[in-house]
């Protein structure tokens, strides 16, 4: 059974930094994509950044140059380093993953991923 667990959310002032972590366990696929989504009340979940098991990363234009996605600890942990955060970055952040074999949609579409965490809240104050 695949479990996805996020951590690291919290409150931060605009211009500050925050780091989110995600661990996916019970996952046997050697080739996969894993990424971060975010959602605010009443709005759709949107892709923030995604990385392949080979290390290729892609970002939403709104976070390019400010956020960095990476796989560490022998690719067992996904990080999202958030710098120069803005109030509009306030959201619930979710980690999602899918095997490359079953990966059939755009990286930014939630429906592309089967496995999701419960989310971690990020709040940026101005």
- Give average pLDDT by consecutive 10-residue segment, the chain, 126 residues: 95 98 88 96 97 95 98 91 98 95 90 96 97
The pLDDT score that the predictor gives to residue 30 is 81
SS (H, E, C) the chain: CCEEEEECCEEEECCCCEEEEEEEECCCCCCEEEEEEEECCCCCCEEEEEEECCCCEEECCCCCCCEEEEEECCCCEEEEEECCCCHHHCEEEEEEEEEHHHCCCCCCCHHHCCEECCCEEEEEEC
């Amino acid at each position: 059974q695949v479990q996805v667990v996020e951590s690291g959310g919290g409150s931060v002032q605009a211009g500050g930094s925050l780091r989110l972590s995600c661990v996916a366990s019970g996952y046997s696929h050697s080739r996969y994509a894993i990424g971060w989504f975010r959602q605010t009340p009443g709005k759709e979940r949107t892709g923030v950044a995604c990385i392949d098991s080979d290390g290729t990363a892609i970002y939403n234009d709104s976070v390019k140059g400010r956020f960095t996605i990476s796989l560490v600890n022998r690719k067992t942990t996904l990080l999202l380093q958030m710098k120069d955060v803005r109030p509009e970055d306030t959201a619930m952040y979710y980690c999602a993953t899918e095997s490359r074999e079953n990966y059939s949609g755009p990286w930014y579409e939630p429906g592309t991923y089967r496995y999701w965490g419960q989310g971690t809240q990020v709040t940026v104050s101005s």
